[in-house]
Amino acid sequence: MIQFPNCKINLGLSILEKRTDGYHELETVFYPIALNDVVEILPAHHNAALVTFTHTGIPVPGSTEHNLCIKAYYLLRKDFPTLPPIQMHLHKNIPMGAGLGGGSSDGTTVLKMLNEQFGLLLTNQQLIDYATQLGSDCPFFVFDKACHAKGRGEILSPFDCDLSNYQIILLHPGIHISTAWAFGQLKPHAKEKSIATIVAQPINTWKAELINDFEAPVFEAHPILSELKDYCYEQTAIYASMSGSGSSLFGIFPKDIHFEKPSFHDALRIDII
C-alpha cells in the first residue's frame, strides 16, 4: 500500500496560556496543503525485526526508533499484538523543522494505512485518540481538511475555509527552528478576538488582524524570514505568514500569479500549490 501524506499551514496561531501539564493552550486554523511525502507499507516475508524501515529524499536525522512512523506501528501493536511484521519506506519531501507538520502527517498516515491494510476496524475517533498519543498536530491529519483547533491542537472541529480560488506559495528558507525554543520565547496571553472569528472574515482583512504569535521571536532571531514575508507582500500577496513555529512561510496570492524568486536568498526552496 502506498499513500501520500500532505502537510498543513496555520492560519493564525495564538498561544493563550501555559497549562499545568506543561503544554500550552492554543488556537489556530489548520489548513491542508498538497505538498506530499510518500509512505509505502508491505507485509514482511521473513522473521526479521517487526519493522524494517528505509527512507530516501530529504535526510531524516535522529535514531529510527524516534521516527513517528515507527512509533505509530508500535502504538497500534500494543493493542493489536497480531499485527504482522512490515517493511516500511518513507520518501521525505516535506521540509522538517519548518512548521508544516510533515512528521505528524507521516505518523498519522501510517496509523490510517495499518488500520486499512490489516483490517483493524478502527473508527475515526479511535484513530484520533491514537494520533493524540503521537503528537499535538497529529489528530488534524485524521480529518485532513480545514479545522479549527484548540487545546494543545487536538480539540478539532471542521471549519468552513476554502482557499481553492487562490494560489498558495510556500517558501522554505532552510532554517530549522526548535519548537521547544520557540515556545520558550513566548509570553502566553488571551486575545481580544478569536482566530476563528478573524478567519471567517473576508481574506483581505487577514493582513491587519491574523497573527502567528511565533513570528515576533523567530523573526528577531532570523531577520531573513521577516524580509521574505515582506517580499511576499511586494509580490501582491493577499496574506502572508509563517506556519507553525517556523521556519516556512506562505503567501496566499491571486490565481496564476507570476512569483519571482527573491535575489537575496539563493538557497530558498519554493513550492507553488
- Indicate whether 210 and 84 sit together in one domain: no
What's the whole-number mean pLDDT along residues 76-94? 95
Provide the pairing of β-strand 147-150 with 155-158: antiparallel
What's the whole-number mean pLDDT along residues 81-97? 94
- Indicate whether 67 and 181 sit together in one domain: no
pLDDT(180) > 80? yes
* C-alpha cell of residue 17: 496560556
Residue tagged 512509533 (cell numbers): 71
So what's the pLDDT on residue 47? 65
> Which of 8, 92, 112, 229 is labelled catalytic?
8
Longest Cα–Cα distance in the chain: 59
Residue percentage of the chain with pLDDT more than 90 = 82
Residue 199, phi-psi category: left (phi > 0), alpha (psi -120 to 50), beta (remainder): alpha
- Indicate whether 35 and 137 sit together in one domain: yes
What's the whole-number mean pLDDT along residues 223-230? 97
What CATH number is given to the structural domain containing 225? 3.30.70.890
pLDDT(66) > 90? no
- Indicate whether 18 and 141 sit together in one domain: yes
Of 108, 133, 158, which residue constitutes the final position of a domain? Answer: 158
- Indicate whether 66 and 189 sit together in one domain: no
pLDDT (tens digit per residue) in 16-50? 998 888 788 999 999 999 999 999 999 987 666 89
C-alpha 107/C-alpha 157 separation (Å) is: 21
For residue 137, indicate whether it is catalytic.
yes
- Indicate whether 223 and 143 sit together in one domain: no
Of 132, 158, 184, which residue constitutes the final position of a domain? Answer: 158
- Indicate whether 78 and 55 sit together in one domain: yes
- Indicate whether 154 and 173 sit together in one domain: no
Edge-first strand listing for the sheet containing 51-57: 2-3, 38-43, 86-92, 51-57
What's the whole-number mean pLDDT along residues 143-147? 94
- Indicate whether 22 and 72 sit together in one domain: yes
Structural domain range at position 108: 2-158
Predicted structure pTM score: 0.93
Q: What single letter denotes the amino acid at residue 209?
A: E
Question: Are 4 and 93 within 8 A, CB to CB?
Answer: no
Number of folded domains that form the chain: 2
C-alpha 140/C-alpha 28 separation (Å) is: 11
- Indicate whether 177 and 147 sit together in one domain: no
- Indicate whether 12 and 146 sit together in one domain: yes
> Which of 37, 106, 137, 271 is labelled catalytic?
137
What CATH number is given to the structural domain containing 94? 3.30.230.10
